Amino acid sequence: MQNDLEEVKALLEKATRKRVRDALTAEKSKIETEIKNKVQHKSQKKPELLDNEKPAAVVAPITTGYTVKISNYGWDQSDKFVKIYITLTGVHQVPAENVQVHFTERSFDLLVKNLNGKSYSMIVNNLLKPISVEGSSKKIKTDTVLLLCRKKAENTRWEYLTQVEKECKEKEKPSYDAETDPSEGLMNVLKKIYEDGDDDMKRTINKAWVESREKQAKGDTEF
């Protein structure tokens, strides 16, 4: 069509008769209008073609942000179970598959995914005593995850949750060695009480210490 327009323009330049020029001018206008309409039609269709050619939308995976290590929890026990209570606001609202727990005979591993944009993890190893993997389970309550660790030896009491906790507590206890000076053991006990005591306790121990030293001094002078 562009070639037709060029040819009409060329003829128009050579034409001398008015009737011929008028006819060629009309034809020139007609071709120009057709070309213009065709261009506009193409420009309107182009976005539609682009939309059709677009690939399917890619849904971004849900990000869970960073993982928070759970350090605050409570526990108690019955004859059959050791129960661990973990408070997590809104945990009852996440899909059940987002709360995962893996038990072994002496450990458990809890993972809560995508709770308020974060993940929460709790790993406890070296449980004080063996548990039954098959008999252990989890329960989701309002704002709480409850882990039920089935005791392998029922009707036995756990003094601590883990072996490490037991060892740490026992190290804190004063040791009484028969071969050491009994007074040294007593001094260690008094020192521990003094360090952990309040101001009144410290004053009482200081007073007793002074009176003891005074009695010893009097005894030495008598001899």
Q: Report the candidate in 124, 143, 150, 141 with the shortest Cα–Cα distance to residue 71.
A: 124
pLDDT digits (tens, 9 = 90+) for 197-222: 777 777 777 777 777 777 666 665 54
> What whole-number percentage of the chain has pLDDT above 70?
68
Q: Is residue 96 scored above 50 in pLDDT?
A: yes
Q: Where are the beta strands (DSSP E) in the chain?
A: 67-69, 74-77, 81-87, 99-104, 107-115, 118-124, 131-141, 144-151
Residues 63 and 76 sit within 8 Å (Cβ to Cβ): no
- CA 96 vs CA 107, 112, 133, 163: distances in Å: 22, 10, 20, 31
CA pair distance 8, 33, nearest whole angstrom: 14
Confidence at residue 107, expressed as pLDDT on a 0 to 100 scale: 96
Q: Report the candidate in 88, 79, 133 with the shortest Cα–Cα distance to residue 107.
A: 133
The SS3 of residue 221 is helix
Q: Residue 117, by phi and psi: left (phi above 0), alpha (psi -120 to 50) or beta?
A: left
The DSSP line for 143-181 is TEEEEEEEESSTT---SSSBHHHHHHHHHHSPP--TTS-
pLDDT digits (tens, 9 = 90+) for 117-154: 999 999 999 999 999 999 999 999 999 999 999 999 99
Q: Is residue 60 scored above 50 in pLDDT?
A: no
Q: Identity (one letter) of the amino acid at 169?
A: K
Confidence at residue 49, expressed as pLDDT on a 0 to 100 scale: 47
Give the number of other CB atoms < 10 A from CB of residue 48: 9
Average pLDDT over residues 190-197: 70
The mean predicted confidence, pLDDT, of the chain is: 79
